[in-house]
């Protein structure tokens, strides 16, 4: 079991990227969260089996016809043992 914190750069806001992350994470049985940042980037916490996390990031990097991922910076962080799902954390303070 691993947990990563990641920052995603590219065309990742206003194109359904958060929903894409949620759907992809749930398909791989991962937990965590995704959140838009005020600087146009997206923050992700993802937790689960290492190979599934690698596959999750590979799918994100591919994007889709609207999403374009230019870079994903990630680092390993401590596991959250009580986390049960993958969700979007909305922060409307900067909208």
Strand, helix or coil for residue 23: helix
CA atoms within 13 A on the CB side of 80: 15
Domains and CATH numbers, the chain: 2-84 (3.30.70.100)
Beta strands 31-36; 2-11: pairing state: unpaired
Q: What is d(CA 61, CA 83) in angstroms, rounded to the nearest whole number?
A: 25
Q: What is d(CA 69, CA 13) in angstroms, rounded to the nearest whole number?
A: 11
Beta strands 68-76; 31-36: pairing state: unpaired
Q: Smallest Cα–Cα separation from 69: which of 20, 27, 4, 3?
A: 20
Q: List the pLDDT tens digit at each of the 95 positions of the chain.
A: 999 999 999 999 989 899 999 999 999 999 999 999 999 999 999 999 999 999 999 999 998 889 999 999 999 999 999 999 999 987 655 44
Task: Quote the pLDDT of residue 64.
Answer: 87
């Amino acid at each position: 079991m691993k947990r990563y914190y990641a920052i995603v750069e590219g065309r990742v806001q206003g194109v359904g990227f958060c929903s894409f992350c949620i759907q992809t994470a749930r398909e791989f049985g991962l937990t965590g969260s995704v959140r838009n940042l005020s600087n146009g980037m997206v923050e992700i916490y993802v937790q689960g089996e290492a190979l599934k996390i690698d596959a999750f990031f590979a799918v994100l990097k591919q994007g889709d016809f609207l999403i374009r991922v230019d870079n994903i910076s990630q680092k390993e962080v401590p596991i959250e043992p009580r986390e049960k799902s993958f969700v979007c954390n909305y922060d409307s303070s900067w909208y």
